[in-house]
Amino acid sequence: MRFDLLTIFPEFFTGPLEHGIIRRARQQGQIETLVHDLRSFTFDKHHIVDDRPFGGGDGMVLKPEPLFLAVETLLADDTAEVAGKRAAVVLLSPQGRVFDQCEAQRLADECSRLILLCGRYEGVDERVVEHLVTDEISIGDYVLTGGELPALVLVDAVTRLLPNVLGSETSAVHDSFVNGLLDYPHYTRPAEFRDWRVPEVLISGHHGAVAKWRRRAALLKTWQRRPDLLAAAELTDEERAWLATLSNETASINNQ
Ligand code: SAM
């Protein structure tokens, strides 16, 4: 997967792509991250990328010409094309579709390349939205000062879903949202910390019992914190019946 990050602050990306799994994925050639300065797609002496809004009002708007030129130039380099996959031109915008795990998986499956446009100021000229962008994505219902952090969120969430990027193919399988539930709780040594013991079943060595406990714990956590997810989750009749027996006062995975 190739990520092209188009920004007026290229230095923004210097640190965040150099750690952990993203760094390893870059080193192993599983992803390529190319940062492009929007100002280098201008022809005037001062490399101006923004202008005042028509109709008046506060703030500045990113002009269409540099964005169109940049994306068209980047798309002309089709070395990252993979048969059957598409190049998405993504505008990070609070007005876009709200990003979630399904959307991350969809981009990981469908695309060989993501061109990520990072807005600033009041945003971008609407003709960019109408005629250049293929996907408009928001990372949540709040407004940030720029699209660089949202772009990094996409790079991270999509990269970890690419084949062989995580240590094992199954590493993401139990993650929150992947199967419609939140993840189960995790514990590590020591088995007793202060007065708090880890659930006995986890140190019992019974793999079947551990798997059952984890499934129940994931169901319970989802029921407690994100009951909205349960409607779409794949549950057995037995699990639905068990959830129906829960009540707020008594529910705890450690007394199931
Ligand atoms: N005037 C715009 C509005 O209210 O919809 C907000 C512009 S915001 C200050 C500047 C840029 O930050 C946007 O163009 C976008 O690229 C980015 N941005 C801000 N919040 C975002 C969010 N929740 N998701 C994705 N991008 C966001």
**Could you tell me if the CB of 118 is within 6 A of ligand 1?**
yes
pLDDT exceeds cutoff 80 at 251: no
Mean pLDDT of 110-123: 98
Q: 26 C-alpha vs ligand 1 centroid, how far in Å?
A: 27
Q: 253 C-alpha vs ligand 1 centroid, how far in Å?
A: 40
| Choice among 122, 156, 183, 239 that is catalytic | 122
Q: Is residue 234 flagged as an active site residue? A: no
Q: 146 C-alpha vs ligand 1 centroid, how far in Å?
A: 6
* Residue 176, burial from CB neighbour count under 10 angstroms (0-12, 13-18, 19+): middle
Q: Is residue 160 flagged as an active site residue? A: yes
pLDDT of residue 171: 76
Q: Is residue 94 flagged as an active site residue? A: yes
| Choice among 94, 125, 135, 214 that is catalytic | 94
pLDDT exceeds cutoff 90 at 67: yes
pLDDT of residue 243: 95
Q: Which residue's CA lies nearest to atom 19 of ligand 1?
A: 144
Range list of H helices, the chain: 20-27, 64-76, 101-110, 126-131, 148-159, 207-225, 227-230, 237-245
pLDDT of residue 219: 97
pLDDT of residue 128: 98
pLDDT of residue 249: 63
Q: 125 C-alpha vs ligand 1 centroid, how far in Å?
A: 13
Strand-strand pairing, 192-193 and 196-197: antiparallel
Given the CA of residue 137, which atom of ligand 1 is nearest to it?
25
pLDDT tens string 165-209:
998 755 788 899 989 999 999 999 999 999 999 999 999 999 999
pLDDT of residue 256: 54
